[in-house]
Chain A
Amino acid sequence: MSIKRIAVLVSTGRHPTSGVPRHCRNDSLALTIGIDLSQCKAAKLDVLHAGNANNPALMDYLALGADQINVIPTEPDSDIVESLAERLGDADLILTGSRAENGQDSGLLPYLLAEKLDIPIIANALELKQVGDRLEVLQFFPKGKRRRVAVTLPAIIAIHPLAAAELRFAYVCQQQGKIHSLSAPVGRGQATSIMQWQIQPATRKPNKLKARENLTGHERLLAAITSESKGGTVVNDGNSVEKAQVILSYLREHQLITF
């Protein structure tokens, strides 16, 4: 199966300090990878945004190479997943970023969309490559680990912020590009479970969860003068070979080395 239609979902970002709307860097990486892939496979590219068509942040995506951005208008109580799923039914590949810079920032959208469309999802992708009728994805993991996963199409791929894509910002593209507002999807279901978040500016530090302890004064004093030892062992005896052997067996015991 060849890739005929690639959809890229972009969200608006904000500058972390000034709060000025701008492109979301993670989504821009997805857009750049999508543009490269669509030129390579001669596939149709559909850049989608759910939200306000007048948001100045969308201009950044035009500058980054999107010819046209299709905006799905949303209302506060509408379900974005529902309206996006309607539009994305025939897409072979859906690309988006792993983390938003705005809104709820829960990282859930790709998963909800995948469940809705009943297609596979792979998050934290660094590289994509089409092999036969499948897509090979390099997944990012911490501590220098990477995993290769092959997935059948259609699929949703969420791009990791460390993906190796070079953003190309061109003023002429920004001037030539168009922002096209789609009509509000009809028959759209209301969001089933809109959770009522109480939102405040983040001025305080979050409180750590601690177990409540009802201690007597004596116990508190004891707790102050004794400390739970970390149980680190100290090796003083033996020659250097024996000491080295101790280190080696510690590493083996905790499976930190494989030999």
Chain B
Amino acid sequence: MTTRNPIRISPNRPQQTSPSGLKRIVLTAPDTVEMYAQPKPLRTVINPKACYLVIAHSERGTLSDHALQTIAAAAILADAETNVLALILGELTEDLANVVADQVIVMPELDFEHFQPELELANISSLIESIQPTRIFMPDNHTGDGDLGRRLIARQKTKTAATRVVELDLDHVATYQAGGASIAQITLPEIILLAANTVDTHLPFTALAQRSNLATGNQASNNQALASPYQDLGMQTIAATEIALDEADFIVSAGNGVQNVATLESLAHALQASIGASRVAVDDGKFSRDRQIGASGKTVSASAYLAIGISGAVQHLQGIKDCRHVIAINTDASAPMVKRADLSVIGDAEEIMRALITLIAEAKSANLKVAA
């Protein structure tokens, strides 16, 4: 008679610490913590039979969320035999990791700052001619793409198109009609101008995002001066103090942690930013009611939002959900605002603001010396 040894579990079982700090017992110990964050699979197209083209302008060298959503939409709708090609008009300095396109073409000379629709259309048309995309996706925004997309639709008369698309899948697109009273559906057209926030950018895969020089052949047409009926007389920016808070691009915002309003105002002046405030600061009488940002105040969509002494109540975070870069100055490292912010600096608000004002003044005078 044979005796079977009972399965013994070691009292020193392998364990690991999860990212949230809990100890977890594992039966087969992984070598590293990487088990928790597995890399996403790479989307690869072996035999491309079709091509989706995404066209978007970049803004200060990066793509807006809206443009990234449009690229994500094309990547989601593309099947295993469809190449996703992103054409970025303007510079692209950003890391391409979050651009889920198979190939990326950058045309730095066609940036949004310059109004040159004829040149853009000529370049895009020749690209369309050479790669014959099955569908074209563009973000329907007010920073160049909506305008260019409509020009493209008018130019490409044979292609079906839909604008301000609020819903799309493999079978149909839907848009609001009659001023939002009715919703109209149609089968997926060839040119799609996508409204903002219609796509979830969380994707289970990544893509190569290879820089392609498909367009180098087209650059030749740039040299031939197109007889354009338009002449760009330049972009101008309205002074930050004059524009409404909801339209501002740079906001310096104060909360309970700001004792000295004068320092904040001089910082905002130095950065040429609009001034916002949290509810507490407005209730204290430091700022007028129209400066309040949050659920009961204004919703802002600035590129840069400098939150000074704001803990970040949910209502306030609601008001800044569309802000691209949030920088927090706070004494409390565990405040909700620190979790939201892209950069948090822990320290006394007054001291840091003063140091910032001095540094900005130095940088500006150094710039002036270089220019002189």
Interface residues of A (CB under 8 A from B): 13-14, 16, 19, 100-108, 111-112, 114-115, 119-124, 134, 136, 139-152, 155, 192-193, 195-202, 204, 206-213, 215, 222, 225-226, 230-236, 240-241, 243-248, 250-251, 254-257, 259
Q: Can you give 30 contacting A-B residue pairs, CB < 8 Å?
A: A14-B178, A16-B179, A16-B180, A103-B177, A107-B164, A111-B150, A111-B151, A111-B154, A112-B154, A115-B155, A120-B229, A143-B249, A145-B238, A150-B233, A192-B157, A193-B158, A197-B177, A199-B183, A199-B184, A201-B182, A202-B176, A206-B166, A208-B197, A209-B167, A209-B199, A225-B20, A230-B339, A247-B327, A248-B360, A259-B367
* Cβ–Cβ contact A236 & B198, under 8 A: no
Given contacts A106-B164, A226-B36, A257-B271, 8 further A-B contacts (CB under 8 A): A105-B164, A105-B175, A146-B235, A147-B235, A210-B202, A230-B342, A247-B345, A254-B304
Q: Report the bound CA distance from A105 to B187 in whole Å.
A: 18
* Cβ–Cβ contact B236 & A211, under 8 A: no
Q: Report the bound CA distance from A103 to B18 in whole Å.
A: 55
Instruction: Report the minimal beta-carbon distance from B235 to chain A, rounded to whole angstroms.
Output: 5
Residue of A nearest to B234 (CB): A148
* Residue B181 lies at the interface, judged by CB distance under 8 Å to chain A: yes
With A240-B354, A241-B359, A244-B352 known as contacts, the answer to whether A211 contacts B204 (CB < 8 A) is yes
Number of A-B residue pairs with CB-CB distance less than 8 Å in the complex they form: 266
* Residue B219 lies at the interface, judged by CB distance under 8 Å to chain A: no
> Which among B7-15, B127-135, B240-248 touches the partner chain?
B240-248
* Cβ–Cβ contact A254 & B62, under 8 A: yes
The bracket for how many chain B residues form the interface is: 35 or more
Query: What string of 1s and 0s marks CB contacts (under 8 Å) between B201-239 and chain A?
Result: 011110000000000000000000000011111111110
Q: Report the bound CA distance from A53 to B356 in whole Å.
A: 64
Q: Report the bound CA distance from A142 to B117 in whole Å.
A: 19
Q: Report the bound CA distance from A230 to B243 in whole Å.
A: 31
Main SS at interface, chain B:
mixed
Residue of A nearest to B60 (CB): A255
Residue of A nearest to B161 (CB): A108
* Residue B153 lies at the interface, judged by CB distance under 8 Å to chain A: yes
Residue of B nearest to A121 (CB): B151
Interface residue from B166, B184, B197 paired with A197 (Cβ < 8 Å): B184
Residue of A nearest to B351 (CB): A240
* Cβ–Cβ contact A207 & B359, under 8 A: no
Instruction: Report the minimal beta-carbon distance from A206 to chain B, rounded to whole angstroms.
Output: 4
* Residue B46 lies at the interface, judged by CB distance under 8 Å to chain A: no
Instruction: Report the minimal beta-carbon distance from A85 to chain B, rounded to whole angstroms.
Output: 12
* Cβ–Cβ contact B181 & A202, under 8 A: yes
* Residue B260 lies at the interface, judged by CB distance under 8 Å to chain A: no
Interface residue from B37, B247, B363 paired with A142 (Cβ < 8 Å): B247
Interface residue from B76, B203, B229, B238 paired with A151 (Cβ < 8 Å): B229
Q: Report the bound CA distance from A232 to B75 in whole Å.
A: 27
Q: Report the bound CA distance from A136 to B230 in whole Å.
A: 10
* Residue B346 lies at the interface, judged by CB distance under 8 Å to chain A: yes
